[in-house]
Homo-oligomer: A and B are copies of this chain.
Amino acid sequence: MSLSYTHAHYQGSGTTEVVAVLVAITNDSARVLTVDEGKLLPNGPLMPLHRSLQAGVRQWVEEQTQHPLGYIEQLYTFVDTNRRNAAGHALVYVSYLGLVQESQLSPLSSQATWQDWHVYFPWENHLSGTPECILSHIAPALLQWAYSATDKVQQKRRCQRVRLCWGIDWNEAVADSQADGKIVNIKDINQLDIRMTDWIAEHALLRYEMLYEAGLIPESPAYQPNKFARKIELCTMIGQPMYYDHRRVIATAISRLRAKIEYRPLIFGLMPEQFSVSQLQKSVEALSGVPLHTQNFRRLIEHQNLIEPTGQSISASRGRPAKLYRFRYDMELQSLLMDSKLPKQK
């Protein structure tokens, strides 16, 4: 009943396992719990004893982290046809997202470590402007991929997808085109004048899937290490790979979190008991990966009546001390937090 994992060969007798993306925020950065030196997400076999998947994951995770999980939800179910049991059935794995409060980070098992999720997705961190890796490596490589499509239609589709997923645009003029409109050659990839237009944080999964499809990451069967125009240090540009498709699972979690945080107060599942407004903001920024407007963030939060002052305040190293707040655990707010899956009463 403890966290177990296998990576060289799948040997379970069942064909179903559960994979968890446990998220916490430490030092204003988002982290996920991993095993096997950051190469795998914690995973375990589906246990026949539990009434529901939800209940199984909850118990299983609580045993591992030694404290109750605040929030948990099912993410997505994947099939891994490379891993099959004796009868030839492909492995099915059901992924879950769980939120862990920083203050409650407690004894980890020997092999488990918390990893900043930007280790796996360096391009997702826009807190200090557009990351270099997009402009210098990823975008050029993706455009190479887009323009090397077989026909004109696919070429346009791919370009549009790049634009929408990555929020970039470029100068189409720097390209030769045939009579049928297909562009056959890009004069100089450096002259495409790639610029950021509209980065949408929630598209994290789409971006990962595009990199996968374009063969730019090692997990992909289409991977070719030399697809980048310039030589790169792999991990700092396209992130640290994981076994199987576990990076995709994290990408799914990131997308879900970023989308949901907009309209559900999930963030409180990650905060300590007391916090200042700016701590709250930094936590949201850690998840969304983009800087927020400080003044309006404060108003947004206060306007929603989700927090109440504790009376205490914290004096930062500099500047005016910040008032501390706590989340209002009213009856109504409990209900606001409720997801499609309510905590079953018994």
Contacts and interface: CB of A to CB of B under 8 A. Distances in A.
A314 interface: no
A299 interface: no
A206 B332 CA distance: 15
Nearest to A158: B345
A297 B251 CA distance: 35
A340 B208 CA distance: 11
A100 to B, nearest CB: 23
A139 to B, nearest CB: 17
One complex includes copies of this chain to the number of 2
Residue among A50, A156, A161 with the highest chain B CB neighbour number at 10 A: A161
A259 to B, nearest CB: 9
A154 interface: yes
Given A77-B74, A92-B92, A342 B206 contact: yes
A101 interface: no
A7 interface: no
A87 B46 CA distance: 13
Interface stretch (A78-86, A191-199, A236-244, A276-284): A78-86
B206 A13 contact: no
Interface in A88-103: 88-90, 92, 94
Nearest to A14: B89
Interface residues of A, number: 47
Contacts of A92: 16, 46, 92, 94
A269 to B, nearest CB: 18
Given A14-B89, A46-B90, A213-B345, A332 B160 contact: yes
Given A77-B77, A213-B344, A88 B48 contact: yes
A74 B161 CA distance: 22
B332 A48 contact: no
Contacts of A255: 340
A188 to B, nearest CB: 25
6 contacts: A15-B16, A46-B79, A51-B81, A74-B77, A160-B331, A161-B342
